[in-house]
Amino acid sequence: MLKRILAIALAASLHLAAQAASPIALLSQQCVQFELPTATAFAANDAANQAIALERATLGLFNLKDRVNYYRQFTLNSDNNEMLIQCQLHLADEMSQLLRSPALINIERSLASSAEPAHQRLHSRLAQLSVHQHTLAQKAQQHSAQATILHGLKSQGLTLDFGDTLCQLNLAPSFESTDKPFNQSIASYLIKQQDTHCKQLVWQAYQTRAKSKNHAALRQLIDSQNHLAQTRGFSDHASDALSGQLLATPKLLKQYLDGMTHVTLSPWEIGSTLANAPKTRVTKQTSDQFINQLYQALATFDLRAEIITPQLHRLWHGERLLGDIYFMDGAQIRATRIRQTVVGMQFGQFSLRLPITLDSYRDQQQLLTEMSKIITQFSHGSRYYLVNTLGETQDSSAIAQHWLAQYLGETLLPTLTQSSREAILQTFATQQKVFRSKLALNAYQIPSNALYTNLNNQFYLSFNHHWPEASDAIYSFSGIAKQGPLYYQALWQQSLGQFLYVTSKHQHTIPETFSLLLINEDHLSLNEQLTQVLGKSLSTTSLIDRILYVQANPLT
């Protein structure tokens, strides 16, 4: 009996030791013990010292938050997942308390009245965080509804009822008889089915597969967001969410979306069309070879890489150390921030998963996209974490990244032909985002404000087919719950980034634009940056018109 007791005790101690030695357990301990300083830590009399004190106090919290997000990319057991969730909750509570504290209100006032552009930029970021603070009950209600919606979309235990047995195929009559995920079975069906009418029926049924599960949760989410907006003086959530953006009103967003609307293939035909379209040929390369070419292209901006080991590259801009990239093998190309560059405080760290070989246009383009994200985050020249990680508006935060990706793509990738698989897919993906952006805007407007009253017609304008139940497409994508009326952001920022690249190329100011958009040592506002690139100040309406014109008539 004594031996059994000793064995059990030894096993328990070994388990605790192993858990304590794990990086996630150590991170969890750091999170639990972390507390932001009291108000006396921010008691400086001037904005400069207050900003420094705030940065020193909060940088540890931001580093912990980034570390948690880094570990979430891995497949974890339930204990580790729970530790990360508890860590996130604790850090969120600490930040919420800070944002509600009188000390921060005093700091914001000092920063707002400061003549220093750097202080103005920090103030705008703090204001962004403060304005979106909700009570714990509001957060819980919102997160619960979002989780329900995402679960409903991911569920594999779904069947389709499209009311026509003649449309069944032998490959998966019930869409549950194969080992493939549900969406892959649908993709196979749409490629192999020859009857266009059947394809349309199945695709439409697939789009509304989660309606019965998600209707109540989505309605609750929309109603609660509209209610919060009304307490803040807005008619609905769409008006509230857009008020702080570059596209600051639903009408401006509609102007952009309408201008981006062009007829393309129907969604049920895209799979078979892509299967028959020629791929864009690229030179097969190892990831190392391709990254070396990328480094050569970056020399234009005085960027260079120091190869410490094949798995560790150190990036420099002139004599300034930007950060380290840790390379890991992986089938999916993905960059994840470990630590953010903050001038004078710390250099950055990113991990990058990538395959050994890049043999397709898609892989090479994705690697350029992820490297553009890393370099953009590394290059920001502010002494404040929030300025380096948040855009002046949510719908402008990735403009510099898209500008750089456009430069690298044009430098390192072949030009697409209109008939290529990649060009067809890009055109279709754009229209899908345009239509979904209209859905999201409409969903979060009250009926009397709705700018898109006939979604069947909007579907027709993009895909050349009518769909009387097009409004039910709100149940088909997770962005309706996660981004809501700001779903358009990725598309808009890509459009603006491409426009700025074409402009800077035409004006032969590419190196100067890199310094302006990515580094911004002079701490210019977004409007000042755009004015310098474009040569004059433009209203948002005029900016949209210019973007749409250049997309239709590229500068050469």
Number of Cβ atoms within 10 Å of the Cβ of 45: 8
364, 337 in Cβ contact below 8 A? Answer: no
Q: What share of the chain has pLDDT > 70, as a percent?
A: 89
Q: How confident is the model at residue 481 (pLDDT cuts 50, 70, 90)?
A: very high
Residue 184: is its pLDDT beyond 70?
Answer: no
Residue 430 is encoded by which pair of tokens? Answer: 């754009």
pLDDT recorded at residue 2: 36
Residue 360: is its pLDDT beyond 70?
Answer: yes
333, 73 in Cβ contact below 8 A? Answer: no
Residue 299: is its pLDDT beyond 80?
Answer: yes
Which of 66-75, 132-141, 369-378 tops mean pLDDT?
Answer: 369-378
491, 437 in Cβ contact below 8 A? Answer: yes
Tell me the backbone φ, ψ of residue 323, rounded to 5 degrees.
165, 180
More confidently predicted of 526 and 137? 526
User: Which residue from 302, 304, 371 is spatially nearest to 334, judged by alpha carbons?
Assistant: 371
Q: Which helix (H) or strand (E) holds 357?
A: strand 357-358
In sequence order, the β-bridge partners of residue 307 are 313
Which of 91-97's residues contact partners 24+ apart within 8 Å by CB, and which partners?
91/31, 91/34, 91/61, 91/64, 91/65, 94/34, 94/35, 94/36, 94/61, 95/36, 95/58, 95/61, 95/129, 96/133, 97/36
Window from 77-91, 359-373, 486-500 with minimum mean pLDDT? 77-91
User: Which residue from 39, 92, 42 is spatially nearest to 64, judged by alpha carbons?
Assistant: 92
Q: pLDDT tens-digit profile of 214-264?
A: 999 999 999 999 999 999 999 999 999 999 999 999 999 999 999 999 999
Query: What pTM was estimated for this model as a whole?
Result: 0.90
Rounded to an integer, the average pLDDT of 18-29 is 76
Residue 182: is its pLDDT beyond 80?
Answer: no
pLDDT recorded at residue 82: 92
Q: What share of the chain has pLDDT > 90, as a percent?
A: 72
Per this entry, what is the length of the chain? 556
Q: pLDDT tens-digit profile of 520-552?
A: 988 999 999 999 999 999 999 999 999 999 988
Residue 499: is its pLDDT beyond 70?
Answer: yes
Q: pLDDT tens-digit profile of 333-345?
A: 999 999 999 999 9
- DSSP percent split of the chain into helix, strand, coil, nearest 5: 65, 10, 30
pLDDT recorded at residue 552: 83
More confidently predicted of 215 and 4? 215
Task: Please tell me the distance from the alpha carbon of residue 536 to that of residue 117, in angstroms, as a whole number.
Answer: 20
3-state secondary structure of 434: helix
pLDDT recorded at residue 17: 39
Q: How confident is the model at residue 20 (pLDDT cuts 50, 70, 90)?
A: very low
pLDDT recorded at residue 7: 39
More confidently predicted of 101 and 282? 282
317, 343 in Cβ contact below 8 A? Answer: no
Rounded to an integer, the average pLDDT of 135-158 is 74
383, 344 in Cβ contact below 8 A? Answer: yes
Residue 12: is its pLDDT beyond 50?
Answer: no
Pairing of the two strands 312-317 and 320-329: antiparallel
321, 378 in Cβ contact below 8 A? Answer: no
Task: Please tell me the distance from the alpha carbon of residue 330 to that of residue 471, in angstroms, as a whole number.
Answer: 39
Window from 16-20, 67-71, 378-382 with minimum mean pLDDT? 16-20
Rounded to an integer, the average pLDDT of 10-35 is 68
Give the chain's mean pLDDT: 89
pLDDT recorded at residue 176: 44
